[in-house]
Amino acid sequence: MMKRAAHLTAGMILGASLATFAFALSSGVRSSQDPVKLSPQYYKVLMENDRVRVLEYRLKPGEKEPTHSHPAGVVYSLGDSTLRSTLPDGQAAEVSGKAGDVFWRNPLTHALENIGKTEARALAVELKHPCRP
């Protein structure tokens, strides 16, 4: 039950992260909040078109990312990780994920720190426009 709660919490935070960025992009967020431009050492654009952007993400133990934004989308964890996500208001939460976990992420602005013993690795599919029926 504790493991399921941890996964749910991680999914909520990761989901919130991506969704915030999607909203930010659709609202004309400055490029200074784009994690690829702000921290290119942690992100690699694998594919991009007018609807989505697919990112590969890597953050080694002890590394910290500055505050950045993500749009709504999906995150697929490529390995086990433990991160601290800090929102602009200073609220922080520990997020643990396992290889193979898949999360929906709502738009999110946050800073990240790898507080675990393994490199955090993930694929993120960011939506560029709000979903339409």
What ranges do the domains of the chain cover?
2-127
Structure tokens of 49?
């078109």
pLDDT tens figures, 19-69 = 333 344 333 334 569 999 999 999 999 999 999 999 999 999 999 999 999
pLDDT, average across residues 67-80: 96
pLDDT of res. 129: 83
- Buried residues in 106-115 as b, exposed as e (16+ CB within 10 A): bbbbbebbbb
Rounded to two decimals, the pTM is: 0.73
CATH assignment of 2-127, given 2.60.120.10, 3.50.50.60, 2.70.98.10, 2.40.30.110? 2.60.120.10
- How confident is the prediction for the chain on average, in pLDDT? 83
Residue 132's pLDDT band, with cuts at 50, 70 and 90, is: low
Which conformational region is residue 73 in: left (phi greater than 0), alpha (psi within -120 to 50 degrees), or beta?
A: left
pLDDT, average across residues 61-84: 97
pLDDT of res. 24: 40
Helix (H, G, I), strand (E, B) or coil at 32: helix
pLDDT of res. 71: 95
- What DSSP character marks residue 61? T
**In the predicted structure, residue 115 carries a pLDDT above the cut 60:** yes
Structure tokens of 116?
């675990």
